Amino acid sequence: MLGFPASAKRGNLLAALGMGLAILATIFLYKDNNGNPLGNHLWIFGGLLIGSVIGTMMAKKVKMTGMPQMVSFFNGMGGACAALISLVEFNHLSHTGLEGADPLYLIIIFLGLIIGSISFSGSMIAFGKLDEKIKDKVLPGQQLINIGLLSVILIIALLNSFDIVEGTSIVYVLLVTSLLYGILFVLPIGGADMPVVISLLNSFTGVAAAMGGFLYDNKVMLFGGILVGSAGTILTVVMCKAMNRSLTNVLIGNFGGGKSGVDSAEVQGTVKSINASDAAILMKYSKKVIVIPGYGLAVAQAQHVVHELETVLEKEGVEVKYAIHPVAGRMPGHMNVLLAESNVEYDKLLEMDEINPEFATTDVALVIGANDVVNPAAKNDSNSPIYGMPILDAEYAQQVIVMKRSMKAGYAGIENELFYRPNTSMLFGDAKKMLSELISELKKLD
């Protein structure tokens, strides 16, 4: 049902309903090995109530542009929940005696703890970074530290599972190291990679939930978790492909922070700037305009204005389409959600493969707050860190107008030679403000 926008909402409600049923069934029907039902109903309902109220409030309050952070935050909560479950189960087990415990059972508990903790701390860092509260940081030897830390975590868990190392306090060591790993893992990753990371952390939490399913022999948990785990992993891979980067590359974390390899060839030439009234004239007399939105559009909250521009242009008989790069914004489909919010018609949002052949017949490509996704260096400069990433072929349009706040480089931290091309003009300023100016200029022309 999630296959179509129209039925997706129903699918979501259905899933929510199923979840509610599963929760109620667990509370009232669950029996442990000795046939005792669950107690502490007051606590359970109290927790459910508090969580529901806070969750609904947060989810209702958040702006559409803040969605990626929100998803990341809720994901972290799920991870923390999984880690806590493992923690309690381990404590429970250590009371009844660890010696006779099944090593597989212990491995499952540890995995739940490790994955859940990484997912929690990682998601919190991702949340902070997307919210622009935390900056990218790369420690010297970051890759070695990360790999080393991960190996330490796994070795401790394995040794402990097979009774080679004794002691119950080791579980807290695991908790702390896993949390630390989550932080170090996400900290150096640049904004361009955030969608991949969130998707990956999402699938982590899925796996952590599945561990819980093994633990309690609970099929709903197991299948739900595995489903999310596999779907999340595939989604992650699909996104990596869209950026032409391998998953290991993202995992070890060497992109987006400071060093971007060899500096790509210095871009020569001058930048031409254009003012709103000239840009308006240019567009008014075009047959076809393709809008390329990027994160700048989201930051400026310009989605409604861009729709207004579209309507004004269409009244003039100009064909308007949107070209959506798979990783435009901070999440896949981020631009689609934003533009859908402002009532842009679904059929006008075209994916990269569909729209690329059309640029040759386009009069004006209007780039709004996007940068790396239209950088021709991805195709012709093998030294460029984004070399090989599929891009939108805005360069083939008759005229390219780039709306941008400054000449600052994009998230990959590299120059964009497109801006220096003779057929490119820059329209400097905040996307929302410039779009409104364009609209008023267009109206004046009538």
CB of 311 to another protein, least distance (A): 13
CB of 415 to another protein, least distance (A): 28
- Residue 431 has which token pair? 């996307």
Q: Which is nearer to another protein, 15 or 144 (CB)?
A: 15
CB of 115 to another protein, least distance (A): 11
Q: Enumerate the H helices of 260-407 as residue ranges.
A: 276-284, 295-299, 303-315, 334-341, 352-355, 377-380
CB of 229 to another protein, least distance (A): 7
Q: Which is nearer to another protein, 236 or 424 (CB)?
A: 236
CB of 442 to another protein, least distance (A): 23
Q: Going by C-beta distance under 8 Å and a sequence separation of 6 or more, which residues neighbour residue 97?
A: none
DSSP 334: H
Q: Which is nearer to another protein, 82 or 153 (CB)?
A: 82
Closest CA to 298 of 125, 129, 68: 68
Got the DSSP string for 224-236?
HHHHHHHHHHHHH
Closest CA to 322 of 73, 314, 224: 314
CB of 22 to another protein, least distance (A): 6
Closest CA to 325 of 291, 278, 363: 291
Q: Enumerate the H helices of 62-141 as residue ranges.
A: 67-96, 103-130
CB of 59 to another protein, least distance (A): 4
Rounded CA separation 179/171 (Å): 12
**With 0-12 CB in 10 A as exposed, 13-18 as middle and 19+ as buried, what is 136?**
middle
Rounded CA separation 159/167 (Å): 11
Q: Going by C-beta distance under 8 Å and a sequence separation of 6 or more, which residues neighbour residue 368?
A: 291, 292, 293, 294, 296, 297, 302, 306, 403, 431, 435
Q: Which is nearer to another protein, 94 or 143 (CB)?
A: 94
347 is catalytic: no
- Residue 353 has which token pair? 């493969």
Q: Going by C-beta distance under 8 Å and a sequence separation of 6 or more, which residues neighbour residue 169?
A: none
Q: Which is nearer to another protein, 73 or 359 (CB)?
A: 73
- Residue 120 has which token pair? 């929690």
CB of 152 to another protein, least distance (A): 24
- Which amino acid is present at 68? P
Distance of CA 6 to the CA centre of its chain: 23
Q: Could you tell me if 204 and 118 are in contact, meaning their C-beta atoms sit under 8 angstroms apart?
A: yes
List the helix and strand counts (H, then E) for the chain: 16, 6
Closest CA to 286 of 323, 321, 313, 306: 313
Q: Which is nearer to another protein, 76 or 385 (CB)?
A: 76
Which one is catalytic: 193, 263, 372, 430? 372
Q: Which is nearer to another protein, 119 or 264 (CB)?
A: 119
Q: Which is nearer to another protein, 53 or 155 (CB)?
A: 53
Rounded CA separation 278/120 (Å): 50
Rounded CA separation 83/106 (Å): 14
Residues with a catalytic annotation lie at: 372
